[in-house]
Amino acid sequence: MKAMEKKIWMMVKAVLFDRRVVLPGFLLLAVVFLDFLFLHPIVLELDILEHFLFGFVLSESASKSTSAVGLDKHPFRRLNKRGVRQADLLIRLLGFLLIGGLLWECSERFLFPMFGATYNPFLALPITLHNIDGAIDVTVGTLGCITAWYTEKF
């Protein structure tokens, strides 16, 4: 059990003490807070910036936490140097889509009704102009994820 606690603490330290995670994270919180309190009636499409920053922050968090405990090396031992970079992109995308998608869907399904909001499914098929917002949000978040990967120095 001690080894697991040590790995969890290593992941927390890797995420919380990295400025590429913390600064955009605080910016994201500030934008969400301002949007919720003041800006939503004025700037309707501010959630595009929020989803981009969420993708960026979650991508960095997934990459830093997996590399802190060495999970990024084990499945990709046989790959060359270029493969490690591609593996990092895969880790970032999986982290964003799985964690972000599950987190958002669960909160929208179980928490939003507590505050009087109606459940809006993440991706309802067929995609129409009525329900395209979820697809746009995921696309913009994925762009934030890829931007974080592209700007990372290796």
pLDDT tens per residue, range 30-46: 887 887 777 666 766 77
The per-residue pLDDT for 13 is 73
| Torsion of Cα atoms, 125 then 45 then 23 then 97, to 10° | 0
Domain assignments of the chain as residue spans, ordered by start: 48-154
The model's pTM is: 0.76
What single-letter amino acid sits at 100? G
CA 125-44-57 angle, to 5 degrees, is 75
Higher pLDDT, 105 or 89: 89
Residues 6+ apart with CB under 8 A from 119: 108, 109, 112, 113
Does residue 104 register a pLDDT over 80? no
CB atoms within 10 A of CB 147: 14
Contact 97, 122 (CB under 8 A): no
Phi, psi of 122 (to 5 degrees): -55, -50
pLDDT, tens digit (0-9, with 9 covering 90-100), for 62-76: 888 887 777 766 665
The per-residue pLDDT for 37 is 76
